[in-house]
Structure 1
Amino acid sequence: MERTGPIIVALDFDSRRAAEAVVDRLGDECRFYKVGLELLTAAGPDLVRRLAAQGHEVFLDLKLFEIPNSVAGAVRAAGALGASMVTVHSMGGTGIMAAAVAAARDFPRLRVLALTVVTSMTGTDLADIGIGNSAEEQVLRLAGLAEKAGCHGVIASPQEIAPLRGMLGPDSLIVTPGVTLPGESRGGHARPGTPRTAIAAGASYIVVGRSVTRAADPATALQRVRSAAGL
């Protein structure tokens, strides 16, 4: 399996300098990085261009939730930057997801992933906003909408991977944040899981952050994650 294989390292930093320092230290050990709203706001789009120009895959985690025209424009911008994946919020409905998929067609390498229920939320949180489903029920419902809209895959916690894989089949992407090493802090994730359980359940990619990026030796830490995932 090439370099990190199904492992995406989340560059959850508030400065370009800190993010690039980790990328430099990981070197050839990592090919896939996640850039989220914090880093994109702090560093701007040039960092995404640089990572893509260096041959890295970039998961641009924008969680787009806007009117369809605005979502389509943002997806085209992500494709022009060289991103490999971009996220749209499935709670916005099939209209924005279909608009995102249509906009991505001009960029053959760009995959549109639908965020289902963020990993910090529980059934209680869903009830607060008027949703009576459990977290798993809501994830599966939204994943079904995403599939109908033509999305390439979904974002969900480790705890929903197995039912999602059973529903979506072998070809859809399932990208899984909320992955922590055994004994580590949950880090704000209400529905976490370990690398091994996530991969065994059928995750296409697992996203890890502080376990690697805040380690004294990020390359060694990434190897620990790979070993913990059974890769």
Structure 2
Amino acid sequence: MDQPFIVALDFASKQEVNEFLRPFSSTSLFVKVGMELYYQEGSTMIAELKEQGHRIFLDLKLHDIPNTVKQAMKGLARLGVDLVNVHAAGGTQMMQAALEGLELGTPSGARRPHCIAVTQLTSTSEQMLRDELWIARPMEETVLHYASLAKESGLDGVVCSAKEVPLIRERCGEQFLTVTPGIRFANDDKNDQVRVVTPYEARKLGASLIVVGRSITRAFDPYAAYERLQWEWNGGERR
């Protein structure tokens, strides 16, 4: 994917999305539509974003029995989005079923959406992993195992912290997508994220794509913040 930035449209309504996107009317973005927006506005929001020329990561993190995920992905594939995801914790049969559904639902002549698996959320800490989820393995080992399962299942990549990208690259290869949320400018608050890095750090670590939300969407001047994102990604050098 030639566009390394995904802007998270974490809004509750179409009106808020349109207001945010107004300064980007002449810019084609790669945007993320998550549960908050999709569950409020549905597929019509996807259609409108596509009409505006934006690429779409539909971030619904499916996690259910294999047949349910298969049928859900079959429907989502018809929307023409570019990227979808599941939880790796659903297991290999579920991830394989997700791909089957995408293949079945993708219109003839079109390319199926890329499918990636969430390893561990960037809001999950080592302590939470151990004390609440009862996973005794270290975070890096757990993430690497989930990434390996995703690759074995035929998926295109994973969602992970940028800090885990080098290990995943070593295990799963350079072509395996690493999509990294938890991106903040150096002077931003971390909010509910735990494992965070700056855009430039993410690039140095080898991230395929970075997902940026509040650093842009809550900025006083979102377009200027998007330009800053590009500037920081390039180590302070504009293209």
Q: Partner amino acid for 1:10?
A: A
Q: Does 1:112 align with 2:115?
A: yes
> SS where residue 120 of structure 2 aligns?
coil
Corresponding residue of 1:33: 31
Corresponding residue of 1:168: 172
Q: Partner amino acid for 1:209?
A: G
Partner Cα distance (1:170, 1:197) in 2: 18
Q: Partner amino acid for 1:157?
A: S
Partner Cα distance (2:206, 2:216) in 1: 22
Unpaired stretches in structure 2, ≥5 consecutive residues: none
Q: What's the TM-score once normalised by structure 1's chain length?
A: 0.94
Corresponding residue of 1:134: 138
> Any residues of structure 2 matched to 1:46-195 within 5 Å, and which?
46-106=44-104, 107=106, 108-127=111-130, 128-195=132-199
> SS where residue 120 of structure 1 aligns?
coil
Does the Cα contact within 8 Å between 2:33 and 2:58 map onto a contact in 1? Answer: yes
Does the Cα contact within 8 Å between 1:123 and 1:133 map onto a contact in 2? Answer: no
Partner Cα distance (2:137, 2:171) in 1: 17
Q: What's the TM-score once normalised by structure 2's chain length?
A: 0.91
> Aligned residues: percent identity?
38
Identify which of 209, 216, 222 aligns with 2:213: 209
Does the Cα contact within 8 Å between 2:74 and 2:103 map onto a contact in 1? Answer: no
Q: 1:144-166, CA deviations, whole angstroms, 9 ceiling, x for partnerless residues? A: 00000000110001211111112
> SS where residue 29 of structure 1 aligns?
coil
Q: How many residue pairs align between the two structures?
A: 229
Does the Cα contact within 8 Å between 1:147 and 1:153 map onto a contact in 2? Answer: yes
Does the Cα contact within 8 Å between 1:59 and 1:85 map onto a contact in 2? Answer: yes
Q: 1:146-203, CA deviations, whole angstroms, 9 ceiling, x for partnerless residues? A: 0000001100012111111121111111100000011211121110011011111111
> SS where residue 78 of structure 2 aligns?
helix
Does the Cα contact within 8 Å between 2:28 and 2:53 map onto a contact in 1? Answer: no
Runs of 4+ in 1 over 6 A off after TM superposition: none
Q: CA RMSD in A?
A: 1.5
Does the Cα contact within 8 Å between 2:159 and 2:180 map onto a contact in 1? Answer: yes
